[in-house]
Chain A
Amino acid sequence: MGDMIARITDATAGLEMERIPSLLQEALQAGVQPFEVLGALSAGMVKVGDLFSEGKYYLVDLVLAGQIMKEALEILEPRLAVESLGGKGTVVLGTVKGDVHDIGKNLVANMLRGCGFRVIDLGVDVPPEKIVEALKTSGARALGLSVLLTPMVQSVADTVSALKAAGLRDRVKIAIGGACTTPELGRRMGVDAVGRDPIEAVRIFESFLAE
């Protein structure tokens, strides 16, 4: 059984997209618990993240890993207890109002899901009021905002202001990421962290929700 778990982890880390579905079916039929399979996939995603950080994997590899995870979750989700999913906490994600780019945001969403977070993905061009509503309804303590283009930076400030006005800012930690974001911009916008890539995003949200 341990061998099966290791094979799933290695196949995920090796981006062996074609092998994963049969490996999952094989493991489940052999009696491996769905949450153990999920753990094996997550361990593979962590390895993918490490390889990306080491410069051995590229953006396309992260996207492929995300696709692998997405397809694997379609097989696993019906068999998993709700509490097995999103054990690390809930993150609300969205691309800010005025910006419709979604590659970076989708990557972060897939990596977070793969690493054990529950993700509420609000999509692109998300107005501040929709973000506030999602945070209130879900009780999430972490928010990730994606912004690619400099002209849309004001939307980050507008969202931070909306959280303050709704009395949520003390409870919710905010991270931003995207091509135009820099630590200096993060300070100016009054957010808590700026992520350079999806792997750093995972670490940031782990630290946010561990507090």
Chain B
Amino acid sequence: MSAVHERVLAALERREPDRVPTFDVMEEYANIYEILGRRPFPTGFLFTNRWTSRIVDKTAGLLNRSQIFFAEMDRFSYDRTEAAVKMGYDAAWVMHVPIWKFQDSKVAVDIYGRQYDVIVDGRGNLATPMYKKGLIASPQDWYGWDKRDLFRLPERANRAFRRIQKDLGDRIFIMPGFLFGLFENTWQPMGFERFAVALRKEKTFVRRVIRFYRDHFCLMLEAWADAGVPGAVYTDDMAYRSGPMLPPALMEELYGDAFRHITETAHALGLKIVVHSCGNVMPLLGWFADCGFDGVHALEPTAGVDLAKVKQLVGDRLCLIGNVDITHILVDATREEVFEAVRKSIAAAGHGGGYMVAPTNSHHTMSVERLRWMLEAVERYGRYPLDLSVPRNPD
């Protein structure tokens, strides 16, 4: 086993590695290509240029059928893993999300029934589309929704991750992920207001949707395990800044069995599995551990997550991953601020192992320079036995 794999596994098993591992969540073309020193074809301009956008408007159906964008996703996942290796990360959450189809140059629809605005990042790259609304207004809509592409996802993911794992898997601990988790896939295609009412009036239908996506997620786990990767990320935003979107007891009632089924399947396949959720997840942490997840990612300080408290609450049951702020620290902070943020996170969660330093999320205004500072800071403060009394001035 490579030193990198041993380091990440130790953290995931709440053992003390040689140093605090680093976990990459990069999802934006601009940063990936800056790191790789490449100038990609600016696909985004096709969608914004006055003339080419008209061509996209007229030929969207043809482009979707040609699967050109799905092939682009394979390349993206490979490149973002290569960029993570080049940066020197220990682990990477590698998204492979061939789920979007373009209605025209402005609007995309995913294979689950959500509508999005197409987003271009200002540097000519397509960015993650912005969720606009759900298209599933009734159980009849859901039953009638064409799900064929959903069942093509596992094969597509298997093919993409076989190549990534073969070429890069010994240098980084690859943890595939895809969109979306069970909670988001239950509410987003119908919209949250409709979902709130459905929880009162159509609970049986909601349960059927959850069961469907539970089984689908297990197919994805099998595809990833078959590709040889060592872990997976279960991606599902379940909280806002104010806390969980649903009461924890209702989350357990609706999703508990499904989550346990997913983690048991992952473990039976030899995969470590980490849950990602944005927002203030403090009231859900114990439940995540009960459901069998090995770790939890995001732990957003700006959502009120106190990492030291998290360590106290579930540090003996979950590997903690993240906590480096992406609203200021990794966007426009000074080198000293970045070092101090990393030092504080390691001080809060690093003792005894079971912590990986990572940004809480990814967006296109994050700075590669500050990500490098974050990694440097881990080298400075993250070696075991921890010595956090190192002078604050990083230079």
Contacts and interface: CB of A to CB of B under 8 A. Distances in A.
Interface string B220-257: 00000000000000000000111111110010000000
Interface stretch (A59-67, A86-94, A203-211): A59-67
Given A100-B130, A185-B327, A197 B242 contact: yes
Contacts of A101: 130-131
Interface stretch (B17-25, B32-40, B195-203): B195-203
A78 interface: no
B132 interface: yes
Nearest to A103: B192
Listed residue (A66, A101, A149, A150) with the most chain B CB atoms within 10 angstroms of its CB? A150
A125 B132 CA distance: 10
Given A100-B117, A179-B278, A196-B241, A60 B246 contact: yes
Contact of B130 (A99, A150, A196): A99
B364 interface: yes
Contact of B196 (A60, A149, A180): A60
A66 B326 contact: no
B348 interface: no
Contacts of B267: none
Interface residues of B, number: 31
Main secondary structure of the interface of B (DSSP, over half): mixed
Contacts, number: 75
B320 to A, nearest CB: 20
Given A100-B132, A150-B363, A151-B363, A58 B244 contact: yes
Interface string A46-64: 0000001001001111011
Given A59-B245, A60-B245, A67-B193, A184 B117 contact: no
B326 A150 contact: yes
Given A101-B131, A180-B327, A197-B242, A149 B197 contact: no
A122 to B, nearest CB: 16
Contacts of A52: 242
Interface string B129-150: 0111000000000000000000
Contact of A58 (B241, B245, B303, B331): B245
B364 A58 contact: no
Nearest to B240: A59
A124 B117 CA distance: 12
A168 B298 CA distance: 39
Contacts of A64: 196-197, 200
A161 interface: no
Contacts of B196: 60, 63-64, 67
B59 interface: no
Nearest to B330: A150
Interface in B110-159: 117, 130-132
Interface in A143-194: 149-151, 179-180, 182, 184-185
Contact of B331 (A18, A55, A66, A150): A150
B365 interface: yes
17 contacts: A17-B197, A55-B243, A59-B245, A59-B246, A60-B250, A61-B247, A64-B196, A66-B193, A67-B197, A100-B131, A150-B363, A179-B279, A179-B302, A179-B303, A185-B327, A196-B241, A196-B242
Given A60-B250, A125-B117, 19 more contacts: A58-B243, A59-B242, A60-B196, A60-B245, A66-B193, A67-B193, A99-B130, A101-B130, A101-B131, A103-B193, A104-B240, A106-B193, A124-B132, A150-B327, A150-B363, A151-B365, A179-B278, A179-B302, A196-B241
